[in-house]
Structure 1
Amino acid sequence: MSFLSPDLEFFIHSTSSCDVSVEALMRDRSRALQSIAILRLSVSDKVAAIQINYIKVPVAVKNDSNRPVIMDCNYSLRPDDSDLVVKWYLNDVLVYQWIPPQQPQSFGPLKDRLDLTYRATDDPKSVYRAMKIVNPTDEVAGEYKCFVSTFTDEDFSVRHMKVFVPEKSFDIFKSSFDEQFTNFTCLASEVYPAPKLLMYKTYKDEFNKVRFPTIHRELTKHNTRLFSSYVIATAPTKTLNPGTLILCEVRIPGTGYVRIKSLLYYPEGNI
């Protein structure tokens, strides 16, 4: 039995409940602040961890050009990072390794094909981060991976490089002619990788060129891994005015390599 008035009893009960709620809120707030602090620490640790900023690998280079190629691997380290190791892989095969303060080494497909004295920077922690291939050939095409590690962390990045072989010969000529149709043949030999041939006609300049319908296309792969290809295109003879410019374009996909050859059409022969 309560001797308190109903109003006083309600006030005490409400005050007690409020105290409990405040205590619970304070506990929840404390837990939330701890979680935020842990999250911030984790994010800060990730941001400061070793990371590769970018790698530079040419998309395509000409085979046996006697021009060196440099592949660079730009990375960031924490001040207290130790046991740095920089590795390069070609198609998952180790080809380069640098463990400071030792000198870099070459392996596998790039053994004795690198200039190991090449210095990318003057920073002792990144001086030998890059590879310099003295004379790239088609044997060194493929996927390149830079892998950087320390005692506590690691990172890697991947790029592809193609090594192309321009055509040994390239020609276009009128292959047949009658009152209804005229055929033109374009051929490119000993190319790598497989080329793409396209034929056009134009009356003024290359910006107004029109594709020729192709009636035959053939691609041959030689034992040397090189390709030869030819296409035959046709056009109604009545659409070919004397002096029409016939164009053939050879492209090596994925390399940016393009070459164009042309002839002037005259019914009595080629000029």
Structure 2
Amino acid sequence: MLSIAHTVSPSIIALLIFGCYSGAYGTSIKFLDVPHIVRNGTGPINLICIYEIDKDDNGLVIKWFHGENQIYQWIPPMPPQDIGIIKDLAEYPVENLRNPNSHSVIRLKTVTIDMTGEYVCTISTFQYEASASAKMIVYVPESDMTVRTYPFNKTHVNLTCAVTGARPQPSLKLYVEGVERNDRGSNYESSEFSTDWYKDDYEVSLDAIIEDMPDPAVVECEMSIPNTEYKRRERIVYYPTQLLPYRTNVSQGRHNAMLFIDIFYVTVLRLILT
């Protein structure tokens, strides 16, 4: 007599168990669609919560939260209500309002930096409750980015990269001829990262003090906004102080300039008189 052995993989067993388990609940969230990265001032974008309501459930209430703060409530058949950071910036597609038992759509006309954070969609009935969350990052590009070099002492030079206006707080790296110079693996004396949050358009800067270089070199700064793909590089050519022509200080330079003007006028006057 022949016998046939059936082998069931653990993944199939897990799916069967999950199907039975989820079927025990009449209300569940199937999908939450929140854009992960959005540029400040752009739009419109959609926040979408897709859910399933059992035919026997009643008393449906849909809520959205930004962090711990409620920003939306919908109790069909009444229209949705928006508060907080999305107040007066949200609109609701008509087709969504006609199908309250399947999905909730918040269409944000304009995205602002305050909208960065975690979004939670919750649905509840008299019988069950379910929730799901997703994070959105709203970033602001820099308004200015500069790279500067200046002597620190007779043997070292200071490299500075300053970025203004970028949010969330950007990460900065300094490179000399393609080699990063503000990490522990480089030949540096010290590096410092600072942020000035008290300005209207705040500034983040990175300073690295390294040994002076004998030859001209390309100095680059790379700015990136964490958890996004936004990056920018700014570069300058550094010329060692020994290769630059001799310069007098400011006061001496002004004296020489005035002396040159006096000589010029005396020469012109002599030409007129002759």
TM-score relative to the length of structure 2: 0.68
Runs of 4+ in 1 over 6 A off after TM superposition: 40-43
Kindly tell me: are residues 57 and 228 of structure 1, through their superposed partners in 2, closer, same or farther at Cα, counting changes over 3 Å? same
Task: Report if aligned partners of 2:141, 2:167 keep a CA contact under 8 Å in 1.
Answer: yes
Kindly tell me: are residues 200 and 140 of structure 1, through their superposed partners in 2, closer, same or farther at Cα, counting changes over 3 Å? same
Q: 1:1-271 residue pairs with structure 2 within 5 A?
A: 44=20, 46-49=22-25, 50-63=27-40, 65-117=41-93, 119=95, 123-127=99-103, 129-176=104-151, 180-202=155-177, 209-213=178-182, 214-222=190-198, 224=200, 227-238=202-213, 241-242=215-216, 244-267=217-240, 268=243
Q: CA RMSD in A?
A: 3.0
Write out per-residue CA displacement over residues 196-224 of structure 1, whole angstroms, 9 at most, x where no aligned residue.
Answer: 2110123xxxxxx3211353332111264
Given residue 179 of structure 2, which amino acid in structure 1 is its aligned partner? V
Task: Report if aligned partners of 1:170, 1:187 keep a CA contact under 8 Å in 2.
Answer: yes
Between 118-127 and 251-260, report the one with greater CA deviation. 118-127
Kindly tell me: are residues 43 and 182 of structure 1, through their superposed partners in 2, closer, same or farther at Cα, counting changes over 3 Å? closer
Cα distance in 1 for partners of 2:210, 2:152 equals: 10
SS for the counterpart of 1:191 is coil
The alpha-carbon deviation at position 118 of structure 1 amounts to 6.0
Cα distance in 2 for partners of 1:110, 1:215 equals: 41
Between 45-54 and 254-263, report the one with greater CA deviation. 45-54
Mind listing any 5+ residue stretches in structure 1 that lack a counterpart? 1-39, 203-208
Matched residues, percent identical?
Answer: 29
Task: Report if aligned partners of 2:171, 2:224 keep a CA contact under 8 Å in 1.
Answer: yes
SS for the counterpart of 1:102 is coil
Give 1 or 2 for the bigger CA radius of gyration: 1
